[in-house]
Structure 1
Amino acid sequence: MTLKEALDALTAQPAYILGYFAIIPIMAFTAGLISQEKGQEAPWKYLYSTLIYFICVPGIFAITVSIYQFLFERRSIWQADVFAQVLPMISMAVTLLIIRKNVNLDYIPGFDKLSGLVMVIAATLSLMWIVDRTRIIVFSYLRFEYVLLIFAALLFLIRIGWRKAFGSA
Protein backbone atom coordinates (compact mmCIF):
# COMPACT_ATOMS: atom_id res chain seq x y z
CA MET A 1 0.00 0.00 0.00
CA THR A 2 1.36 3.38 -0.96
CA LEU A 3 0.92 6.58 0.96
CA LYS A 4 -1.54 7.83 -1.66
CA GLU A 5 -3.61 4.66 -1.34
CA ALA A 6 -3.65 5.03 2.46
CA LEU A 7 -4.78 8.66 2.23
CA ASP A 8 -7.41 7.71 -0.35
CA ALA A 9 -8.71 4.98 1.96
CA LEU A 10 -8.92 7.48 4.83
CA THR A 11 -10.67 10.12 2.77
CA ALA A 12 -13.15 7.54 1.47
CA GLN A 13 -14.59 7.51 5.02
CA PRO A 14 -14.53 11.21 5.95
CA ALA A 15 -16.49 10.66 9.16
CA TYR A 16 -13.39 9.26 10.89
CA ILE A 17 -11.24 12.18 9.80
CA LEU A 18 -13.89 14.75 10.71
CA GLY A 19 -14.40 13.11 14.09
CA TYR A 20 -10.69 13.03 14.87
CA PHE A 21 -10.02 16.61 13.86
CA ALA A 22 -13.15 17.88 15.62
CA ILE A 23 -12.72 16.05 18.92
CA ILE A 24 -9.25 17.39 19.70
CA PRO A 25 -10.17 21.12 19.61
CA ILE A 26 -13.32 20.29 21.59
CA MET A 27 -11.20 18.46 24.18
CA ALA A 28 -8.80 21.43 24.35
CA PHE A 29 -11.72 23.82 24.85
CA THR A 30 -13.27 21.59 27.52
CA ALA A 31 -9.93 21.22 29.31
CA GLY A 32 -9.60 25.01 29.27
CA LEU A 33 -12.99 25.40 30.89
CA ILE A 34 -12.28 22.81 33.57
CA SER A 35 -8.68 23.78 34.35
CA GLN A 36 -9.44 27.51 34.40
CA GLU A 37 -6.21 29.18 35.59
CA LYS A 38 -4.31 25.97 36.40
CA GLY A 39 -3.29 24.99 32.87
CA GLN A 40 0.43 25.14 33.63
CA GLU A 41 0.13 22.69 36.55
CA ALA A 42 0.97 18.99 36.42
CA PRO A 43 -2.08 17.09 35.18
CA TRP A 44 -3.29 19.76 32.77
CA LYS A 45 -0.01 20.51 31.06
CA TYR A 46 0.42 16.83 30.21
CA LEU A 47 -3.09 16.69 28.78
CA TYR A 48 -2.34 19.77 26.68
CA SER A 49 0.95 18.21 25.57
CA THR A 50 -0.86 15.06 24.45
CA LEU A 51 -3.48 17.06 22.57
CA ILE A 52 -0.80 19.15 20.90
CA TYR A 53 1.07 16.07 19.70
CA PHE A 54 -2.14 14.38 18.51
CA ILE A 55 -3.02 17.42 16.41
CA CYS A 56 0.40 18.76 15.37
CA VAL A 57 1.88 15.56 13.94
CA PRO A 58 -0.89 15.17 11.32
CA GLY A 59 -1.00 18.93 10.84
CA ILE A 60 2.74 19.18 10.19
CA PHE A 61 2.49 16.17 7.89
CA ALA A 62 -0.33 17.83 5.93
CA ILE A 63 1.65 21.05 5.59
CA THR A 64 4.73 19.12 4.43
CA VAL A 65 2.76 17.11 1.87
CA SER A 66 1.07 20.27 0.59
CA ILE A 67 4.35 22.12 0.21
CA TYR A 68 5.89 19.12 -1.52
CA GLN A 69 3.00 18.84 -3.95
CA PHE A 70 2.97 22.55 -4.76
CA LEU A 71 6.74 22.96 -5.13
CA PHE A 72 7.88 19.68 -6.64
CA GLU A 73 4.85 18.17 -8.35
CA ARG A 74 3.57 21.61 -9.35
CA ARG A 75 -0.01 20.74 -8.45
CA SER A 76 -2.60 23.45 -8.19
CA ILE A 77 -3.88 24.52 -4.80
CA TRP A 78 -7.37 23.75 -6.10
CA GLN A 79 -6.44 20.06 -6.22
CA ALA A 80 -5.65 19.89 -2.49
CA ASP A 81 -7.64 17.24 -0.63
CA VAL A 82 -9.86 18.98 1.91
CA PHE A 83 -9.90 16.10 4.39
CA ALA A 84 -6.23 15.08 4.16
CA GLN A 85 -4.55 18.45 3.65
CA VAL A 86 -6.74 21.39 4.63
CA LEU A 87 -8.67 20.06 7.64
CA PRO A 88 -5.56 18.98 9.62
CA MET A 89 -4.02 22.45 9.19
CA ILE A 90 -7.18 24.25 10.27
CA SER A 91 -7.73 21.94 13.23
CA MET A 92 -4.08 22.36 14.30
CA ALA A 93 -4.34 26.14 14.17
CA VAL A 94 -7.64 26.20 16.11
CA THR A 95 -6.36 23.78 18.75
CA LEU A 96 -3.12 25.70 19.27
CA LEU A 97 -5.04 28.98 19.58
CA ILE A 98 -7.40 27.45 22.16
CA ILE A 99 -4.54 25.96 24.18
CA ARG A 100 -2.46 29.15 23.94
CA LYS A 101 -5.43 31.09 25.29
CA ASN A 102 -5.51 28.83 28.36
CA VAL A 103 -1.81 28.29 29.06
CA ASN A 104 1.55 29.66 28.01
CA LEU A 105 3.05 27.18 25.53
CA ASP A 106 6.44 27.47 27.24
CA TYR A 107 4.99 25.37 30.09
CA ILE A 108 3.93 22.55 27.76
CA PRO A 109 6.45 19.69 27.85
CA GLY A 110 7.84 18.76 24.45
CA PHE A 111 6.46 21.76 22.56
CA ASP A 112 10.00 22.88 21.73
CA LYS A 113 10.62 19.49 20.11
CA LEU A 114 7.80 20.16 17.64
CA SER A 115 9.37 23.46 16.62
CA GLY A 116 12.65 21.61 16.08
CA LEU A 117 10.85 19.06 13.91
CA VAL A 118 9.28 21.83 11.84
CA MET A 119 12.69 23.46 11.44
CA VAL A 120 14.34 20.25 10.25
CA ILE A 121 11.50 19.57 7.80
CA ALA A 122 11.72 23.14 6.49
CA ALA A 123 15.49 22.85 6.08
CA THR A 124 15.11 19.55 4.25
CA LEU A 125 12.45 20.88 1.90
CA SER A 126 14.50 24.02 1.27
CA LEU A 127 17.60 22.00 0.49
CA MET A 128 15.62 19.70 -1.82
CA TRP A 129 14.04 22.71 -3.55
CA ILE A 130 17.42 24.36 -4.09
CA VAL A 131 18.87 21.18 -5.57
CA ASP A 132 15.76 20.76 -7.76
CA ARG A 133 15.88 24.36 -9.04
CA THR A 134 19.60 24.48 -9.75
CA ARG A 135 19.33 21.28 -11.81
CA ILE A 136 22.75 20.10 -10.73
CA ILE A 137 23.53 16.73 -12.20
CA VAL A 138 26.44 14.96 -10.64
CA PHE A 139 28.08 12.00 -12.26
CA SER A 140 30.00 10.35 -9.52
CA TYR A 141 31.24 7.04 -8.28
CA LEU A 142 29.97 7.79 -4.78
CA ARG A 143 27.80 5.13 -3.27
CA PHE A 144 24.27 6.15 -2.31
CA GLU A 145 25.00 5.57 1.39
CA TYR A 146 27.69 8.26 1.25
CA VAL A 147 25.28 10.69 -0.41
CA LEU A 148 22.82 10.07 2.45
CA LEU A 149 25.60 10.67 5.00
CA ILE A 150 26.53 13.94 3.29
CA PHE A 151 22.86 14.97 3.31
CA ALA A 152 22.55 14.12 7.01
CA ALA A 153 25.72 16.10 7.75
CA LEU A 154 24.29 19.11 5.93
CA LEU A 155 21.10 18.90 7.97
CA PHE A 156 23.17 18.67 11.14
CA LEU A 157 25.11 21.78 10.14
CA ILE A 158 21.86 23.61 9.44
CA ARG A 159 20.64 22.65 12.90
CA ILE A 160 23.84 23.89 14.56
CA GLY A 161 23.68 27.13 12.60
CA TRP A 162 20.07 27.66 13.62
CA ARG A 163 20.93 27.15 17.29
CA LYS A 164 23.81 29.61 17.12
CA ALA A 165 21.77 32.20 15.25
CA PHE A 166 18.54 32.06 17.22
CA GLY A 167 19.43 30.47 20.54
CA SER A 168 18.97 26.91 21.69
CA ALA A 169 15.91 25.15 20.34
Structure 2
Amino acid sequence: MTLQDFFDSVSANPAILAIFLLAIPALAFVVNLWAGEKAEEIWRWRFVYATLVYLACIPGIFAFTLNVYLFLFERQSIWRMNLITQVLPVVTMVATLMLIKRKLPFAYIPGFGKLSGFMTLIAAVIGLLWFIDRTRIYAVTYIPFAYILVGFVGLLLLIRFAWSKLF
Protein backbone atom coordinates (compact mmCIF):
# COMPACT_ATOMS: atom_id res chain seq x y z
CA MET A 1 0.00 0.00 0.00
CA THR A 2 1.38 3.36 -0.97
CA LEU A 3 0.73 6.66 0.72
CA GLN A 4 -1.57 7.62 -2.17
CA ASP A 5 -3.55 4.39 -1.65
CA PHE A 6 -3.88 5.20 2.05
CA PHE A 7 -5.14 8.71 1.33
CA ASP A 8 -7.55 7.36 -1.28
CA SER A 9 -8.99 4.85 1.21
CA VAL A 10 -9.33 7.53 3.88
CA SER A 11 -10.98 9.85 1.35
CA ALA A 12 -13.44 7.09 0.42
CA ASN A 13 -14.46 6.70 4.09
CA PRO A 14 -13.57 9.94 5.88
CA ALA A 15 -15.88 9.49 8.88
CA ILE A 16 -13.39 7.47 10.95
CA LEU A 17 -10.59 10.00 10.55
CA ALA A 18 -12.94 12.94 11.09
CA ILE A 19 -14.31 11.45 14.32
CA PHE A 20 -10.80 10.69 15.59
CA LEU A 21 -9.51 14.18 14.78
CA LEU A 22 -12.56 15.96 16.21
CA ALA A 23 -12.44 13.83 19.38
CA ILE A 24 -8.97 15.08 20.33
CA PRO A 25 -9.88 18.75 21.00
CA ALA A 26 -13.14 17.56 22.56
CA LEU A 27 -11.14 15.39 24.95
CA ALA A 28 -8.85 18.34 25.69
CA PHE A 29 -11.91 20.42 26.55
CA VAL A 30 -13.28 17.69 28.85
CA VAL A 31 -9.90 17.24 30.55
CA ASN A 32 -9.74 21.00 31.10
CA LEU A 33 -13.09 20.77 32.90
CA TRP A 34 -12.05 17.76 34.99
CA ALA A 35 -8.58 19.03 35.87
CA GLY A 36 -9.88 21.64 38.26
CA GLU A 37 -8.37 25.02 39.00
CA LYS A 38 -5.70 24.29 41.60
CA ALA A 39 -2.11 23.77 40.46
CA GLU A 40 -1.83 20.38 42.17
CA GLU A 41 -4.94 19.10 40.40
CA ILE A 42 -3.75 20.36 37.02
CA TRP A 43 -0.26 18.88 37.61
CA ARG A 44 -1.74 15.39 37.97
CA TRP A 45 -3.18 15.61 34.47
CA ARG A 46 0.08 16.55 32.71
CA PHE A 47 0.62 13.09 31.19
CA VAL A 48 -2.95 13.10 29.84
CA TYR A 49 -2.20 16.50 28.33
CA ALA A 50 1.04 15.13 26.87
CA THR A 51 -0.88 12.26 25.26
CA LEU A 52 -3.39 14.69 23.79
CA VAL A 53 -0.59 16.91 22.48
CA TYR A 54 1.06 13.99 20.72
CA LEU A 55 -2.26 12.67 19.38
CA ALA A 56 -2.93 16.10 17.88
CA CYS A 57 0.58 17.09 16.80
CA ILE A 58 1.74 13.96 14.99
CA PRO A 59 -1.06 14.04 12.36
CA GLY A 60 -0.99 17.85 12.37
CA ILE A 61 2.74 18.08 11.70
CA PHE A 62 2.49 15.39 9.05
CA ALA A 63 -0.41 17.16 7.31
CA PHE A 64 1.33 20.54 7.49
CA THR A 65 4.55 19.09 6.10
CA LEU A 66 2.61 17.31 3.36
CA ASN A 67 0.82 20.55 2.47
CA VAL A 68 4.08 22.46 2.26
CA TYR A 69 5.55 19.74 0.06
CA LEU A 70 2.53 19.60 -2.21
CA PHE A 71 2.34 23.36 -2.65
CA LEU A 72 6.05 24.13 -2.97
CA PHE A 73 7.36 21.11 -4.84
CA GLU A 74 4.37 19.47 -6.55
CA ARG A 75 2.58 22.76 -7.32
CA GLN A 76 -0.79 21.44 -6.18
CA SER A 77 -3.67 23.85 -6.55
CA ILE A 78 -5.40 24.98 -3.39
CA TRP A 79 -8.69 23.93 -4.99
CA ARG A 80 -7.56 20.29 -4.94
CA MET A 81 -6.97 20.18 -1.16
CA ASN A 82 -8.62 17.34 0.72
CA LEU A 83 -10.21 18.92 3.78
CA ILE A 84 -10.18 15.74 5.87
CA THR A 85 -6.57 14.71 5.28
CA GLN A 86 -4.89 18.07 4.68
CA VAL A 87 -6.80 20.70 6.67
CA LEU A 88 -8.57 18.98 9.57
CA PRO A 89 -5.37 17.59 11.20
CA VAL A 90 -3.82 21.08 11.26
CA VAL A 91 -7.02 22.62 12.66
CA THR A 92 -7.17 19.84 15.27
CA MET A 93 -3.56 20.48 16.27
CA VAL A 94 -4.07 24.23 16.63
CA ALA A 95 -7.36 23.86 18.54
CA THR A 96 -5.94 21.24 20.91
CA LEU A 97 -2.81 23.26 21.64
CA MET A 98 -4.88 26.38 22.30
CA LEU A 99 -7.16 24.51 24.71
CA ILE A 100 -4.26 22.94 26.57
CA LYS A 101 -2.31 26.18 26.79
CA ARG A 102 -5.24 27.79 28.63
CA LYS A 103 -4.79 25.31 31.45
CA LEU A 104 -1.12 24.29 31.51
CA PRO A 105 2.01 25.96 30.10
CA PHE A 106 3.78 23.88 27.49
CA ALA A 107 6.96 23.89 29.58
CA TYR A 108 5.24 21.54 32.04
CA ILE A 109 4.12 19.04 29.40
CA PRO A 110 6.56 16.10 29.24
CA GLY A 111 8.32 15.85 25.89
CA PHE A 112 6.95 19.05 24.37
CA GLY A 113 10.46 20.46 23.90
CA LYS A 114 11.40 17.48 21.76
CA LEU A 115 8.27 17.94 19.68
CA SER A 116 9.00 21.61 19.03
CA GLY A 117 12.60 20.71 18.17
CA PHE A 118 11.30 18.13 15.70
CA MET A 119 9.06 20.76 14.08
CA THR A 120 12.04 23.09 13.82
CA LEU A 121 14.14 20.40 12.20
CA ILE A 122 11.41 19.61 9.67
CA ALA A 123 11.04 23.31 8.83
CA ALA A 124 14.81 23.66 8.38
CA VAL A 125 15.01 20.62 6.09
CA ILE A 126 12.08 21.76 3.96
CA GLY A 127 13.50 25.27 3.74
CA LEU A 128 16.90 23.94 2.73
CA LEU A 129 15.43 21.60 0.12
CA TRP A 130 13.20 24.37 -1.26
CA PHE A 131 16.20 26.70 -1.52
CA ILE A 132 18.20 24.05 -3.39
CA ASP A 133 15.23 23.34 -5.66
CA ARG A 134 14.63 27.03 -6.46
CA THR A 135 18.25 27.91 -7.14
CA ARG A 136 18.61 24.92 -9.46
CA ILE A 137 22.08 24.16 -8.19
CA TYR A 138 22.87 20.73 -9.48
CA ALA A 139 26.40 19.46 -9.75
CA VAL A 140 27.77 16.18 -10.91
CA THR A 141 30.86 15.42 -8.90
CA TYR A 142 33.13 12.54 -8.11
CA ILE A 143 32.64 13.01 -4.37
CA PRO A 144 31.44 9.82 -2.68
CA PHE A 145 27.84 9.90 -1.52
CA ALA A 146 28.88 9.26 2.10
CA TYR A 147 30.71 12.61 2.18
CA ILE A 148 27.65 14.40 0.82
CA LEU A 149 25.50 12.70 3.45
CA VAL A 150 27.90 13.69 6.25
CA GLY A 151 27.89 17.27 4.95
CA PHE A 152 24.08 17.33 4.87
CA VAL A 153 23.81 15.98 8.43
CA GLY A 154 26.44 18.51 9.55
CA LEU A 155 24.45 21.30 7.94
CA LEU A 156 21.29 20.14 9.71
CA LEU A 157 23.12 20.07 13.05
CA LEU A 158 24.42 23.56 12.37
CA ILE A 159 20.90 24.78 11.57
CA ARG A 160 19.55 23.13 14.74
CA PHE A 161 22.32 24.67 16.88
CA ALA A 162 21.82 28.11 15.34
CA TRP A 163 18.05 27.88 15.79
CA SER A 164 18.39 26.94 19.46
CA LYS A 165 20.79 29.84 20.08
CA LEU A 166 18.50 32.22 18.19
CA PHE A 167 15.40 31.32 20.18
Report the TM-score range of the alignment, normalised by the length of the smaller protein. over 0.9
2:6 is the alignment partner of 1:6:
yes
Counterpart of 1:47, as a letter, is V
TM-superposed CA distance for 1:11, in Å, is: 2.0
Q: Secondary structure at the match of 1:26?
A: helix
TM-superposed CA distance for 1:40, in Å, is: 4.0
Q: 1:41 aligns with which of 43, 46, 50?
A: 43
2:141 is the alignment partner of 1:146:
no
Count of matched residue positions in the alignment of Structure 1 and Structure 2 = 165
2:49 is the alignment partner of 1:65:
no
Runs (5+) with no aligned partner, structure 1: none
Match of residue 54 from structure 2: 53
Contact 1:40 1:104 in 2 (8 A): no
Counterpart of 2:53, as a letter, is I
Q: State how 1:64-83 maps to structure 2 within 5 Å.
A: 64-83=65-84
Query: TM-score with structure 2 length normalisation?
Result: 0.93
Q: How far apart are the structure 1 equivalents of 2:165 and 2:99?
A: 32
Deviations 1:12-47 (CA, angstroms, capped at 9, x unpaired): 2111111110111111111000112246413x0000
Q: How far apart are the structure 1 equivalents of 2:31 and 2:138?
A: 53
Match of residue 128 from structure 1: 129
Deviations 1:57-106 (CA, angstroms, capped at 9, x unpaired): 10000000000110111111111111111000111111111111121222
Match of residue 112 from structure 1: 113
Match of residue 90 from structure 2: 89
Counterpart of 2:88, as a letter, is L
Counterpart of 1:85, as a letter, is Q
Contact 2:24 2:52 in 1 (8 A): yes
Runs (5+) with no aligned partner, structure 2: none
What value does the CA root-mean-square deviation take over the aligned residues?
1.3
Query: TM-score with structure 1 length normalisation?
Result: 0.92
TM-superposed CA distance for 1:160, in Å, is: 1.0
Q: Secondary structure at the match of 1:41?
A: helix
